[in-house]
Amino acid sequence: FLFYVLCEVDERGFHPVGYYSKEKYSDVGYNLACILTFPCHQRKGYGRFLIDFSYELSKKEDKVGSPEKPMSDLGQQAYKPYWTSTIIDFLLNESEKSMSIMDISKKTSIIAEDIIFTMNMLGLLKYINGVYFITAERTLLQELAKKHPVKEPRVDPFQLHWTPYLTDIKRDKFSIHSKKPTIEGDITSRAAGGF
């Protein structure tokens, strides 16, 4: 396991406020195994910060991930708002008119199953003939963004200097590089003579 400890800093030094752990390599794509914010530091946004941090590290690893399952009730209380605000924020700020769940997954590093769960919960998906369709009008997304804002503190990915624990990308099915392109990208590459 790898452990990441979050600290507050003052003139007396570093003071741990929480941590999370993750497996060095997860066969099922978990990017977080255990998370804890010490009781005297709860309600400060540190749990959400650690969740955000776990996904930012997944982005640096070029992977999609999910917390270890099954999740506890408290885990669900922490993750549902995070997924909701992250996905809504992404959809509002993305300039692409057409995108797939896999596109959202690649950009947010949230595994497709968690995106489908969240978007179903929000009523943003339609399932027609075995295919999911995203139905998110801008006004609805703006309304949802007011109900589910992205909260502080947030991880600044530009301040994150970290080298991933290296694994064999060819056998890593959660690597973004192993994900299939969108249908439009596939059609474009075939039209250009690629395959």
Kindly list the catalytic residues.
Answer: 68
What CA–CA distance (Å, rounded) separates 100 from 119?
A: 12
Using DSSP's 3-state secondary structure scheme, residue 20 falls into strand
Can you name the residues that pair with 129 across neighbouring β-strands?
A: none
CB neighbour list of residue 178: distance below 8 Å, 6 or more residues apart: 169, 172
User: What does the block give as tokens for 184?
Assistant: 């439009």
DSSP of 49-101, one letter per residue?
Answer: HHHHHHHHHHHHTTB-BEE-SSPPHHHHHHHHHHHHHHHHHHHHH---SS--H
